[in-house]
Structure 1
Amino acid sequence: MARKKIPIKKIDNINARQVTFSKRRKGLFKKAQELSTLCDAEIALIVFSATNKLFEYASSSMQQILERHSRHSGAQGLDISSIGQQLGSDSFDMLRKEIEDKTHNLSQLNGDELQGLTIEELQKLEELLQRRWTTISKIKDEKIIQEINSSKTKEAELMEENQKLKQRLAREQRQSHESITCSSSDFSPDIGSSDTSLKLGLRLFE
């Protein structure tokens, strides 16, 4: 059964529009990646959703591709104003505002610029930091357990090797002692034979 063709016009239903945007955006980025891989092309995509959320894709570096575009267009260099001209004033303002918001949020996470926050905002920030701290502590504990287990394994291996060396040394000492004992027995004097020869000599002289 053939798929129903969607008419190319604005989708009135907000939920359907968002779902379509998400699917089409992923498909667009996938096609761009395939085109870049197959044809060795440098591709940069910048997309703003209806909710002013930024999505972007670059086959290498977005900055380098924009600089290359700027040089190709005859500009001498790339600066904020040139990006604003390329994206349009509205898009540029949204991009700049998003960068400012991210920078502001990062400063708050570092403990700065907190005086203007309400109690509710401070509580949300505290909960966020607590979740991150919990995650960090969990990873740290796992690393410590791994180090302890590794140390125990190495300790067991060293003890086993030490036991083997002790057993080997004991065998060598026992073999050396047995060798010395056998050598002493081979070279011991025959007292009875010497005494008989001495008596026979005395009788001849009589």
Structure 2
Amino acid sequence: MGRGKIEVKRIENNTRRQVTFSKRRSGLMKKTHELSVLCDAQIGLIVFSTKGKLTEYCTPPHSMKQMIDRYAKAKGISIPEHGSRAGATAYDDQVIKEVSRMRSETHNLELSLIQRYKGDDLSGVHYEELLQLEHQLELSLNKVRARKFQLIQEQVENLKRTEVLMEKENQEMYHWLMSNQIQKEAEIENEQQAMTELKLVEQQPLMNQFPFFGDDLHLGTLPFHTHTYRLQPTHPNLQD
């Protein structure tokens, strides 16, 4: 089953038109090269895209300038050099004047539109034009306000995020300070307890050397014996 006939007309979709141009251009360049090689033909091909991009092909070893000069000689026309007015025709002068006139009119129209949007010169503007201008200004004002509110909303959201981050940092700093304070208090308490235990250890030898203390008097570990002494009759000096 063969391919259906494609209707040749301008492709309205920009993406499809660009893709088709790229594909067809590559095929055209390939066919041009094949024609030049197979048939020993001298070919000069110039293609400009819609965006002004240049694509060219010239049969080697010739240059595009040589091909254009040969074309001008064959057609009996003269192409003036760039920047030279010697070969310029009356048509070229007319085109230059027309371009200058259009530039001047465009500049005047831009100034007039600017003045109208500013409200400086409205004396020659009709009622219908004023309504259209008012409607356009309202649309522009709505767009400006929408953009302004969008920027304000973004700034508010950024400030809220910054506030949350700062609150989180403050809480972390508070917990860090509290943990350090608790740690320092624990260290001070340990130091005081260690000093108390050291004082008790230093006083312990003295208490061992002097065991008598308190309300009762004790003579240490010395033995204390009570003996009953009786008078012996054999002691002459102790009789009567």
Give the alignment's TM-score, normalised by structure 2: 0.50
**CA distance 1:29–1:103, change in 2 (3 Å):** farther
For 1:158 and 1:37, the matched residues in 2 are separated by 62
Q: Percent identity?
A: 17
Residue 138 of structure 1 corresponds to 146
Are residues 132 and 37 of structure 1, via their aligned partners in 2, closer, same or farther at CA, if it must alter by over 3 Å? Answer: farther
Q: Once superposed, what is the RMSD of the aligned Cα atoms?
A: 3.9
**What SS does the corresponding residue of 1:187 show, helix, strand or coil?**
helix
The corresponding residue for 1:74 is 84
* Secondary structure class of the residue paired with 2:53: helix
Residue 152 of structure 1 and its aligned partner are, at CA, apart by: 0.6
Dislocated runs of 4+, deviation >4 Å: 2-6, 26-29, 88-92, 200-204
Given residue 199 of structure 1, which amino acid in structure 2 is its aligned partner?
P
Select which of 211, 218, 224 maps to 1:199. 211
- Which of 160, 164, 169 is the aligned partner of 1:161? 169
Residues 37 and 153 (structure 1), Cα distance of their counterparts in 2 relative to 1, 3 Å cut: farther
- What is the alpha-carbon distance in structure 2 between the residues aligned to residue 157 and residue 151 of structure 1? 10
What's 1:190 paired with? Answer: 200
Does the 8 Å contact 2:48/2:54 carry over to 1? no
The C-alpha deviation readout for 1:104-135, integer Å capped at 9, x for no partner, is: 11221121211111222111111111110100
1:81-120 alignment, distance < 5 Å: 85=93, 87-90=95-98, 92-120=100-128
Larger Rg: 2
* Cα gap change, 1:136 to 1:171, in 2 (>3 Å): same
Query: Using the alignment, how far apart are the partners of 1:37 and 1:155 within structure 2?
Result: 61
Q: Deviations over 1:79-105 (max 9, x none)?
A: xxxxx9362555554443333223211
Cα separation, 1, equivalents of 2:209 and 2:200: 11
For residues 168-183 of structure 1, what are the structure 2 equivalents within 5 Å?
168-183=176-191
User: Cα offset for 1:30?
Assistant: 2.3
Counterpart secondary structure, 2:210: helix
Match of 1:197, as an amino acid?
Q
Higher RCO structure (Cα 8 Å, ≥6 apart): 1
Q: Cα distance, 1:185 vs. partner?
A: 1.1
- The total of aligned residue pairs comes to 150
- Opposite residue 103 of structure 1, the aligned amino acid is L
Distance in 1, matches of 2:105 and 2:82, equals 28
Residue 210 of structure 2 aligns with an amino acid whose one-letter code is L
Alpha-carbon distance in structure 1 between the residues aligned to 2:56 and 2:157: 45
Q: Find out whether 1:33 has 2:45 as its counterpart.
A: no
Structure 1, gaps ≥5 residues long: 7-18, 39-70, 76-83
Name the structure where helix makes up a greater proportion of residues.
1
